[in-house]
Amino acid sequence: MKMKPVVTNIKVDELFNFTDKVVFITGAGGVGRICAKGFGLQKARIVLFDVKDEVCEKTCSELKGLGIEAAYVTGNIAEQKSVNAAVDEVVSKYGRIDILIHTAGVTKNKVCTEHTQEDVDFVIDINLKGTIYVNQAVARVMKKQNYGKIVDIGSVGGALSHMDVTMTYEASKAGVHAIVKSFANEMAPYNINVNAIAPFWINTPFISHQPKEYFEAVQRLTPFKRCLEAEELVGAAYYLASDASNFVTGQVLFVDGGYTSVHAMSMEELGLI
């Protein structure tokens, strides 16, 4: 059994040094785009993976305009061969993958009794199977390096039923949380940390089409009274991808404004104070 190397450095700029790290990010829009920008501005080398060429091209163009080294490979996260080929292409060009930020995901909003087999397959194939496939492919590379950081995106919906009409999404994200724990256990001997971030509702195109009443209802669920902005996930991603989290693995970090832990009645809202 190999022992995990000890990190004794306590200098912030060195703990969070991403210079020249090869960061493989699934999902070139939304959260993936923001994470790419964040790590890129810390001088990491960014490689995006998405099924849509045009999304990759747009994000890469934006990143390069900021002086960030960025490239992309296209493929289908739901197809194991496609994921393996994409990872092989990255390793062929860069020689390694230091960090995986896996943000690709979908949902299908329907009453639970109305989900068709096609609906279930669509969500499970991308969110659950896709997580397995990309973690497998990247972990094989990281095992050879004897180093790596894997950060998957889970959800508050993976811990509890956060709203109706999202049964398959919640099931898939609960699976992501379980996958993280299994991978963390088996990858620990290879100095690989595997963790997840479970966000609250994020103000991205994923939900931006919803009516005003939707956002008003969501905002009442957290003590902070608003949605999460994608930029607010980057700090959590930095932490889990850095030496600062050297002894952290198999964890799900909730970035949810207290949603999963704080359910206090507001005396002020009741007009009692």
Q: What is the DSSP string of 131-156?
A: HHHHHHHHHHHHHHHT-EEEEEE--G
The two structure tokens encoding residue 48: 């995006």
Whether residue 169 lies in the annotated active site: yes
Residues 6+ apart with CB under 8 A from 134: 26, 49, 77, 83, 87, 100, 102, 104
Give the dihedral of Cα atoms 20, 24, 29, 32; nearest 10 deg. Answer: -80
Residues forming beta bridges with residue 148, ordered by sequence position: 192
Cα 129 versus chain centre, distance: 15
Question: Cβ distance 163 to 153 under 8 Å?
Answer: no
Count the Cβ atoms, other than its own, within 10 Å of residue 190. 16
Q: What is the DSSP string of 36-94?
A: HHHHHHTTPEEEEEES-HHHHHHHHHHHHHTT--EEEEE--TT-HHHHHHHHHHHHHHH
Which one is catalytic: 72, 133, 147, 169? 169
Query: Percent helix, strand, coil in the chain (nearest 5)?
Result: 45, 15, 40
Question: Cβ distance 219 to 227 under 8 Å?
Answer: yes
Query: Of 136, 215, 124, which is closest to residue 171 (Cα–Cα)?
Result: 124
Quick one: 124 exposed, middle or buried, by C-beta within 10 A (0-12, 13-18, 19+)?
middle
Residues recognised as catalytic? 169
